[in-house]
Homo-oligomer: A and B are copies of this chain.
Amino acid sequence: MSKITVQDFQQLASERLPFAELMGLQLQSIDADGLWMRACYNDSFLRPGGTIAGPVMMGLADAAIYALILSRIGPVELAVTTSLNINFLRKPAPGDIVARATPLKFGKRLVIGEVAMYSASQHTDIENFTDREIVAHATATYSIPPI
């Protein structure tokens, strides 16, 4: 069972993660295997070429793995990213980006997570995203502080 609720995370984000607010990040749901997070589109997402700026997807991937860690170990402030690798696969059209985050390893000192990102119109249900083409794919490592 998740150590935090969706509401807990959104409250933490609104109080302590101003960047997540700027990017319109919304945790959608937490399940046994991972979670879904959405970056809700606004015009600041655009970059030349009429596509979504890379930092939106990097920030979404980073926050999704952060939420994944909090969901498993509770609200530990100083879980910090040590490295992140992202591949940009397709140019998403203007619209929301939806992320599926799952753990590759949950160690005591290091957590490695994987994030697949999909382009979404604003009213699409998340159920069928995994049939779609991935627009960006990230892996990231977080360091967990000693208890």
Contacts and interface: CB of A to CB of B under 8 A. Distances in A.
Interface of A: 12, 16-19, 21-23, 43-49, 51, 53-56, 58-59, 62, 77-78, 80-91, 104-105, 109-110, 112, 114, 134, 137, 139, 141, 143
A48 B78 CA distance: 7
B81 A88 contact: yes
A43 to B, nearest CB: 7
Q: Is the interface of A mostly helix, strand, loop or mixed?
A: mixed
A134 B113 CA distance: 12
Contacts of A137: 104, 112, 114, 139
Contacts of A90: 105
A62 B112 CA distance: 20
A46 to B, nearest CB: 6
A54 B46 contact: no
Contact of A85 (B21, B84, B89, B105): B84
Given A47-B17, A134-B104, A54 B81 contact: yes
Contacts of A19: 44-45, 47, 53, 55-56
A83 B139 CA distance: 11
Contacts of A17: 47-48, 53
Contacts of A80: 49, 51, 54, 88, 91
Given A17-B53, A47-B16, A77-B49, A143 B91 contact: no
